[in-house]
Amino acid sequence: KKSKKKDDDKDSQLKSPIVVVMGHVDTGKTKILDRIRHTSVQAREAGGITQQIGATYLTKEYIAKATARMKEQTSKPFETKLPGLLFIDTPGHESFANLRARGSSMCDIAVLVVDLMHGLEKQTLESLKMLTDRSTPFIVALNKVILIDRCLDWVADEGAPFQLTFQRQKQHTKQDFENRLSGIRTEFAEKGWNTELYFRNKNVKTDISMVPTSAITGEGIPDLLDLLIQLNEKYMRRQLRFKEKFVCTVLEVKNTIGHGTTLDVILSNGTLRKDDTIIVCGMPPQGTIITNIRALLLPSEASEMRERAEYKLVEEVHASAGVRISANGLEHAVPGAHMQIVPRNLKNSKDHAKRREEIEKLSDEVQQDYTNVCLFILLLFLMFNLKKNVMIHRCSRIYPVNNVECMSKHQPLGALEALITFLQDLKPSIPICGINIGDVHKQDVIKAGVMLDHQPEFAVILAFNVKVDPEARELARQNGVQIFTAEIIYHLEDAFNKYMKEIYDHRKAGATDLAVFPVELEILPEHIIHNKYPIVIGVKIVRGTLRKHTPICAKKYDSSGVAAPLYLGKVVGIQVEKKDVEIAKAGEKVAVKIEGDETVKNIQFGRQFDQNDRLVSLISRDSLDALKKNFQDDIDSDDVKHLHALKIYFSVI
């Protein structure tokens, strides 16, 4: 009896599991959470994209209500020792890999959302890898299954448990679903995962449970919540036992009306009390912030922390919880970093030395997070510039910055990482010369202006969700420094891509006359239309691409076998079946018109050259340089080999 009591004590100390929802963009992660909490963040968010880690707490009473219809399916009453579930919603866009990693590192269990029609997509695989690396247990939500236009003739039953609604479908609808299910299971199997529909799953520990859901009709949502509760309670009690050790992560730093700058935090272990002194990672030069909590604000039930929810003031919160902290001096707090509290037994301790020592230790710990992120960025930087050291002069000054004042939507460090990754992945990638956090000032424009003397097109500032001070804007306008601003990271990326494309296109247009693509032509002797200038002959493109303006030579050798190219002139027209074309590819047969100046006027087909001579493009050092600089994307590996051969033939050094 005694031991039973002990067990109960332990159980009463269980904390709510932290659930992270992961998956590829557009699979319906936000919509599922919306459905769960009956809100519509998805519709309201800028661009409909989750850009931020958010949190939603559901009490067990709320879950009991939301899963009430499960009784129709299982006839078991809902019961749990868990206080509730805390959902963290992470962004799906690929630039946010690091934010997702942060989200998944906090969680106890994950829901991997897969769109049944699209199967395993890029970020699904990335999420799978992350979950495996961290040994995080997860279940799969097969979303968008229950669509009238997807599963044949599906008759929806709003909010119904899956099995219940499934039983009632027609035979061919069921079959259609089974076929799709089997397809997705095969895809998982190919990646080494055994999966099974959750109610058919006999080996929960080895096979991943899948719940078919529709965020639109709400079918399968009760199953999802119920399964999360069941699995956590059954298999994760040990991990979910409440511990006093304090673990807390700052998600966002934002202004709250009436409270000034506040912190949204996820408390994943321990207790936070209103009279605690917190130790928060701060941006240099201010550094660590040590401040007393003024108020603890808890969002009302089933509301999303980012929403303008109703908050209630509380004296203390226990893990797991998402809570907003109001305190003085939080302006420079770093989101994404851990937070600590001054141990309560030391708070009013007379042993000042010990207290100071402990606070210093904890300060170092939280400040380490800033160092880690900075090191990470520095490392990216170094890797990048070392790789491209020959091009170091070709840098843009980039300030993907965030403003503490208007940090309501974004995490600066996550955004910085996202932008750095984006610039790195561009081809050719863009080295970054500077990064900064905060509004764009005159000083930033002056720094970026250094590039004006080298490569003016790279005097660029990317400003993410920050203000540009009017003086800075005016100076940039005068000097020709480009400033791109946006509140959504995609928009910033799109604007920059568009700008780069314009620059490349402009450069290409200027270089078309100079750059020469490699090409080799075979003369078709039965198609000699005009053997004198302008020469018009039929040719087959043996290798490379034929473009207008290409200078052409007959590939001849003298009697001792030394290359003796015979210059014929430039291609002025290409025709396929009497139609003009700009470009022709290997394998095509075309009529080509070649024109030359006075120096070649006497050359004739059949005299100085004939069908036994191959025709090739004439390349020079300048033409090669122009080609490499501006048309890197348009030449393939065979072109590179071909150019090499032509270089030898034309003795280009």
Q: Counting beta carbons within 10 angstroms of the beta carbon of residue 186, is it exposed (0 to 12), middle (13 to 18) or buried (19 or more)?
A: exposed
CB of 464: closest distance to ligand GDP in angstroms? 20
Best CA proximity match to 409, nearest among 480, 310, 489: 489
Half-sphere exposure for 378 (CA within 13 Å, toward CB): 6
Nearer to ligand GDP, 214 or 232 (CB): 214
CB of 23: closest distance to ligand GDP in angstroms? 6
Cβ-based neighbour number of residue 386 at 10 Å? 9
Nearer to ligand GDP, 127 or 261 (CB): 127
Nearer to ligand GDP, 211 or 362 (CB): 211
Interacting residues with ligand GDP (CB under 6 A): 23, 25-31, 42, 48, 50, 92, 143-144, 147, 214-216
DSSP 591-604: EEEEE--GGGTT--
DSSP-derived letter for residue 396 is B
Nearer to ligand GDP, 51 or 326 (CB): 51
CB of 25: closest distance to ligand GDP in angstroms? 5
CB of 177: closest distance to ligand GDP in angstroms? 14
- When CB distances to ligand GDP are compared, the closest residue is 28
CB of 173: closest distance to ligand GDP in angstroms? 16
Number of helices (H) and strands (E), helices first, in the chain? 19, 26
CB of 215: closest distance to ligand GDP in angstroms? 3
CB of 35: closest distance to ligand GDP in angstroms? 8
Contacts of 509 (CB under 8 A, 6+ apart): none
d(C-alpha 136, C-alpha 208), whole Å: 12
Nearer to ligand GDP, 96 or 370 (CB): 96
Nearer to ligand GDP, 92 or 431 (CB): 92
CB of 146: closest distance to ligand GDP in angstroms? 7
d(C-alpha 63, C-alpha 60), whole Å: 5
d(C-alpha 89, C-alpha 94), whole Å: 15
CB of 350: closest distance to ligand GDP in angstroms? 53
Nearer to ligand GDP, 115 or 457 (CB): 115
Q: Counting beta carbons within 10 angstroms of the beta carbon of residue 616, is it exposed (0 to 12), middle (13 to 18) or buried (19 or more)?
A: buried
Nearer to ligand GDP, 43 or 564 (CB): 43
CB of 22: closest distance to ligand GDP in angstroms? 9
Are 112 and 120 contacting, i.e. CB atoms less than 8 angstroms apart?
A: no
Nearer to ligand GDP, 42 or 303 (CB): 42
Are 23 and 29 contacting, i.e. CB atoms less than 8 angstroms apart?
A: yes
Written as six digits, the tokens of 226 are: 């119920």
Written as six digits, the tokens of 281 are: 């990672």
Best CA proximity match to 147, nearest among 214, 212, 211: 214
What amino acid is encoded at 63 in this protein?
I
Nearer to ligand GDP, 68 or 216 (CB): 216
DSSP 485-526: EESSHHHHHHHHHHHHHHHHHHHHHHHTTT----EEEEEEEE
Are 251 and 266 contacting, i.e. CB atoms less than 8 angstroms apart?
A: yes
Alpha-helical regions (H) of 388-427: 412-425
CB of 346: closest distance to ligand GDP in angstroms? 44
CB of 93: closest distance to ligand GDP in angstroms? 8
* SS3 category, 447: helix
Are 194 and 206 contacting, i.e. CB atoms less than 8 angstroms apart?
A: yes
Strand partners for 114: 142
d(C-alpha 515, C-alpha 626), whole Å: 5
Strand partners for 335: none
Nearer to ligand GDP, 50 or 482 (CB): 50
Nearer to ligand GDP, 101 or 216 (CB): 216
Alpha-helical regions (H) of 45-198: 60-66, 70-74, 97-106, 122-133, 162-167, 171-190
d(C-alpha 243, C-alpha 317), whole Å: 13
Written as six digits, the tokens of 330 are: 């939080």
CB of 487: closest distance to ligand GDP in angstroms? 17
Nearer to ligand GDP, 214 or 617 (CB): 214
